[in-house]
């Protein structure tokens, strides 16, 4: 097979939807090197993560594909044609909470933090409405191009069995044992440096590692703003 025949597996999702975690799991299982699309020289700081997502394991890689690319970009910014698109999706209420903390941390870029701060002056409902317009747009743009949706919430709740069921079919054909290994390698405890799920570090990229945390952050009026987005989320993972 010539180099020009090789394609990529793409893991796409709105920021703070579990993209990085899902990308690492899939990179390991498919034995494809992980690449942060748009930032190809940017490396994961943890050496052991680099090794596990290098695509250099002894088992066969996914035939015909040469890398796994992670990105948050829109379809018109990504050369995904000919590849497999996996869309990482999460309850938008939890995405907003994680996004809110991320935009308040030093991990976020300056102009993004400034824009979010200015929206906050108008009140939290305005931040939510702005966020949901971006989230819905991203999901709707990628839906026609996605061969698979992986729910972050189901992955947390059902563990490796959920991912194993998804990756067992063609074209992946991944053995369940391999998925169990990946799930253990990239557990929240290991990725966060020793914290258990639910133990919060607001400044960490891996902040809390739970689903349903939104219940601690919204008024009933704010929850109502998510109604349409929740319908889109639920329809995507059925």
Question: Would you tell me how many other CB atoms lie within 10 Å of the CB of residue 218?
Answer: 17
DSSP output for 183-238: HHHT-HHHHTTSPPTT---TTSSS----S-GGGGT--HHHHHTTHHHHHHHHHH--
pLDDT at 101: 84
| Structure confidence by residue, pLDDT tens digits, 158-176 | 999 999 999 999 999 999 9
Residues constituting the chain: 238
* Greater pLDDT, 178 or 121: 178
How high is the mean pLDDT of the chain?
87
Statement: residue 71 has pLDDT above 60: yes
How many domains does one find in the chain? 1
Does the pLDDT value for residue 202 go beyond 70?
A: no
State the sign of the Cα–Cα–Cα–Cα dihedral 86, 16, 14, 112: negative
- Quick one: pLDDT at residue 120? 76
Distance CA 7, CA 85 (A): 11
Q: pLDDT for 22-42, tens place per residue?
A: 999 999 999 999 999 977 666
Residue 203, pLDDT above cutoff 60: no
Confidence of residue 4 (pLDDT cuts 50, 70, 90): very low
Q: How confident is the model at residue 2, as a pLDDT?
A: 38
Name the 3-class secondary structure at 22.
helix
Mean pLDDT throughout 13-20?
A: 94
CATH number at residue 103: 3.40.50.300
Could you give the CA distance from residue 53 to residue 33 in angstroms, rounded to a whole number? 6
9 has which bridge partners? 68, 84
* pLDDT score, position 197: 57
pLDDT recorded at residue 40: 64
Domain of 192, in residue numbers = 3-236
Q: What is the pLDDT, as a whole number, of residue 89?
A: 98
**Quick one: what percent of the chain has pLDDT higher than 90?**
67
Q: Which of 12-16, 54-58, 213-217 has the lowest mean pLDDT?
A: 213-217
Only one residue has tokens 């050369």, namely 79
Q: What is the pLDDT of residue 228?
A: 97
């Amino acid at each position: 097979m010539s180099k020009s025949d090789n394609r990529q597996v793409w893991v796409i999702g709105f920021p703070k939807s579990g993209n990085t975690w899902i990308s690492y799991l899939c990179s390991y299982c498919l034995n494809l090197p992980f690449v942060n699309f748009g930032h190809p020289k940017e490396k994961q700081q943890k050496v052991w993560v680099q090794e596990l997502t290098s695509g250099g394991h002894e088992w066969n890689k996914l035939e015909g594909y040469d890398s796994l690319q992670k990105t948050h970009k829109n379809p018109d910014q990504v050369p995904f044609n000919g590849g497999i698109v996996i869309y990482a999706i999460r309850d938008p209420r939890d995405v907003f909470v994680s996004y809110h903390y991320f935009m308040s941390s030093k991990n976020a870029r300056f102009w993004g933090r400034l824009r979010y701060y200015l929206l906050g002056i108008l009140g939290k409902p305005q931040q939510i409405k702005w966020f949901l317009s971006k989230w819905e747009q991203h999901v709707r743009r990628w839906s026609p191009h996605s061969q698979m949706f992986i729910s972050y919430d189901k992955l947390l709740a059902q563990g490796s069995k959920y991912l194993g069921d998804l990756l067992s079919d063609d074209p992946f054909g991944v053995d369940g044992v391999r998925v169990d290994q990946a799930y253990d390698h990239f557990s929240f405890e290991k990725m966060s440096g020793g914290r258990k799920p639910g133990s919060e570090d607001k400044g960490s990229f891996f902040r809390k590692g739970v689903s349903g945390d939104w219940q601690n952050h919204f008024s009933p009026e704010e929850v109502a703003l998510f109604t349409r987005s929740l319908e889109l989320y639920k329809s995507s993972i059925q």
